[in-house]
Structure 1
């Protein structure tokens, strides 16, 4: 089996917003297939499809009611097969988002489970009696507001839901549940899928004793929809039994050639890095994992170094995937705008930095255009937390608005109909067709940066060694037997001048200047330096 995934660049497609082929205002599988040449032109290795399975769409497909079929909103199984075939012909792998921790409340399994306490599916979800005063069994919070428990009068019990009440959690302590989930994964592998992105992979197993969580050990983070941060979430997720199921899942994928699994670790801080390492350690668990560590507003050299070194030290045998944006967080060009000399400058800096990281890389659709967050008003929202808690939270719609293909076309070429989320002028101004004809565009920069990453052994397999540098500079060496590169990134808006300890040459994408052994980094500046020996930097 090959390790194609180890240094892969993975492009996330949010199907609702990529391209609409039939004019109903929602993106679909045929639309994605039509636009695959754009993805292939970037030089990426793989596409990750957010959920396309049958769903009531209460949480945009993350509430699955049939794991083994495509929702008519997106097309048919034949459309899915055609997409995989076309992607493979273009040299692209395809993975899908598998939402295994919970289902829709419309799934046949849950419909049967809620009928009584003694039917064949009665123990397939997490049910518990009320406390003597009628309150929920534990103090666990839902990510979408309120308790993580919903009372069901038909059974006279509460059921667990870490997200919407319409997303009941499966009971992974039941081996029949694990077997059924594995069968659904096998269904897609048999259709030629190349692997899975595992949603909320650390939420599968709950504490069977239903113990309440203690208060947070660090300063709590209180948000309008999410009180998770006020608890130390040791009983509702991250349970040790999770690893046993991951090993069963890995054993299944190992029956097939060249399959990859990447897990989303829904956690923050140092714990997320530790879990990433734990879940990817050895060869019997996940191939790799990513967390929200780099999807946060924090933008400092110390933060990125802490994330990478934390993984190196905590999981020397594990494998990371690093991303700056996805469908759940504000786009990074907007999220880090206070550190930017311009939107395009921060987009290029982020790309150059991401392509230098050791491990696999994730790109979210539109990121290659330097796309910004869309500002929406309440009447335009679709995201459940935003609808419930506006204006305390804006929700996730702003990063999910449609891809922009042709600036002058209706809805920037996304659809001939009424788009499910609006296409606004600031986003349309970054359309693919405009950037194709501009040699200095962010799009061309992404292509060049990805090509440079793939052409250089040091960026493919070189180990990372961090260098001492001024506070605003992230600097490290990537080194193999045949090549050494030093990477330097100025995360501030102010120019900086560094002195090199030895001669070097600028290579690859850069916006810095090098004269003799003096390196000048403009605000948001970056440089790749080729050299012999172990270069050091000083202010």
Structure 2
């Protein structure tokens, strides 16, 4: 079998050396992330669906969001919550039909909302017809080289290989769970001693890349506006800690994508913006791994993946956190990528614990944390339910592969709409729900918070509106850390554009706190926040900002 070599020099030669084009609409982007099984059930089967999402488009609009990102809706065995796909070209019947997806997109567009789908590019289900054919003994079938197989059942080259009982004499590489065989995008440096390793430009990897383009085109041609790409860094294999081969792949795909769909966007689950944005993505998710370990995790996480206590985060009520790791590492990623795209921190996601967890659970605490996520320079990404302060349910039952090193069901429970049965999520019997509703009688709901002017929901709506009305607080405004990185509370950073300057200050601790820093202006006006209490003064070239416990404020520098 022919093998080719992708050299490091060749790959680097292909990387973009200057700023890439970002669609104008994305500069005003506010993303709302929906886990479809848990958002709204329209037919009473206990599982959310496309018609349910369509019925709630006016609600998404009311938040101020202009883009929806849907976790996978393609046909699946649901052994990993939809991330084990059996047909990329069909909507799974639990969610609806292709026609219903098209109708959802059309009605969203009528409201000024774009729709992005989740693209699982790195693997399929082991029940996918491609994999079943690839498992057959005949090595010359259409899909024989769509996956990575060793050349003998006696060979398990790495821990990523799964022992197979298929007719084919070999074992296959997985991408995550054993039921998710890795698609074959080739090896960066095929090993001559391992003839089963194919190179980037060999027929198998080339066919898989073409299939990826076909999938993207199929849905973009139906009106979809872009994709969030799952495990985007995991495609080209081999000893490649810098992901050189995968960067080449995405850069080539971005060139094709931008030429064909100039208004479309690509979002990566990579958490290494200096790689992913240079490779061609418009947005990279800074989450709890990669570069996000010293950015996202030091801000909001209170346990590690095993559920055990780790170093307290910045949003710690006792005030035991630190801010230096966030300030220095976020600045590095921001300055290196601001001309390429957006290093975005979602509030959480289908894989990451909700903000309302353990002793971070009061409206004031959650408003303070949300202030950060909605005033950073990247495109904000709000996970469903965070806008009402939904609780992370630590004891939620494991469902469809949700348990890895942590129980991901805890952040996937049904949306809480009102005080009707099942919190308005579904008319099904409670025993048939996808996951249980938060049993707390004090659980937040959309209906109750819409009526309460002081609610988290109305705070989020107002903050998004302020961001939209204030260019300095948006994606084009510059970001600069202001307070002393050695003194965590309060954290203060500046947002600036066209002569306008705003300071964002956060004190999540239970104690009053004071920041002192080089003067940012003679006077400041509070334009938004959790309430009165912040006092800004400036004298002799030094600014002082005093803040009450558990508070956030946005100040406009007026002199």
- TM-score normalised by the shorter chain: which range applies? 0.7 to 0.9
| Correspondence for 1:286 | 281
**Residue 391 (structure 2) pairs with residue 372 (structure 1):** yes
**Residue 93 (structure 2) pairs with residue 72 (structure 1):** yes
TM-score (norm 2): 0.81
| Mapping for residues 450-529 of structure 1, pairs under 5 Å | 450-460=464-474, 461-469=476-484, 470-498=487-515, 501=519, 502-515=522-535, 517=537, 519-529=545-555
The whole-number CA distance in structure 2 between the counterparts of 1:447 and 1:73 is 31
The whole-number CA distance in structure 2 between the counterparts of 1:331 and 1:135 is 42
Q: Which runs of 5+ in 1 are unaligned?
A: 141-147, 212-233, 266-271, 534-539
CA drift at 1:61: 0.9
The whole-number CA distance in structure 2 between the counterparts of 1:69 and 1:428 is 40
**Residue 248 (structure 2) pairs with residue 244 (structure 1):** yes
| Correspondence for 1:217 | none
CA drift at 1:427: 7.9
| Correspondence for 1:170 | 183
The whole-number CA distance in structure 1 between the counterparts of 2:338 and 2:556 is 26
SS in 2 for 1:151: coil
User: Which stretch of the first structure deviates more once superposed, 344-353 or 25-34?
Assistant: 344-353
Asked if structure 2 preserves the Cα contact closer than 8 Å seen for 1:7 and 1:361, the reply is no
- Kindly tell me the number of residue pairs found equivalent between the two proteins: 475
Find 1:83's aligned residue among 98, 104, 113: 104
The whole-number CA distance in structure 2 between the counterparts of 1:427 and 1:442 is 18
The whole-number CA distance in structure 2 between the counterparts of 1:499 and 1:162 is 49
**Residue 345 (structure 2) pairs with residue 322 (structure 1):** yes
SS in 2 for 1:261: strand
Find 1:356's aligned residue among 365, 375, 398: 375
Asked if structure 1 preserves the Cα contact closer than 8 Å seen for 2:227 and 2:265, the reply is yes
| Correspondence for 1:536 | none
Asked if structure 2 preserves the Cα contact closer than 8 Å seen for 1:374 and 1:427, the reply is no
The whole-number CA distance in structure 1 between the counterparts of 2:535 and 2:224 is 50
TM-score (norm 1): 0.83
The whole-number CA distance in structure 2 between the counterparts of 1:189 and 1:400 is 27
Distance 1:474 1:427, change over 3 A: farther
Deviation track 1:102-133 (CA, whole Å, cap 9, x = no partner) reads 011121211110102332322110111358xx
Find 2:212's aligned residue among 157, 181, 187: 181
| Correspondence for 2:163 | 150
Asked if structure 2 preserves the Cα contact closer than 8 Å seen for 1:130 and 1:137, the reply is no
The whole-number CA distance in structure 2 between the counterparts of 1:427 and 1:135 is 56
| Correspondence for 1:123 | 145
Asked if structure 1 preserves the Cα contact closer than 8 Å seen for 2:32 and 2:381, the reply is yes
The whole-number CA distance in structure 1 between the counterparts of 2:391 and 2:140 is 52
CA drift at 1:306: 3.1
| Correspondence for 2:410 | 398
Asked if structure 2 preserves the Cα contact closer than 8 Å seen for 1:512 and 1:526, the reply is no
Distance 1:123 1:496, change over 3 A: same
Displaced runs of 4 or more, over 6 A: none
The whole-number CA distance in structure 2 between the counterparts of 1:126 and 1:516 is 61
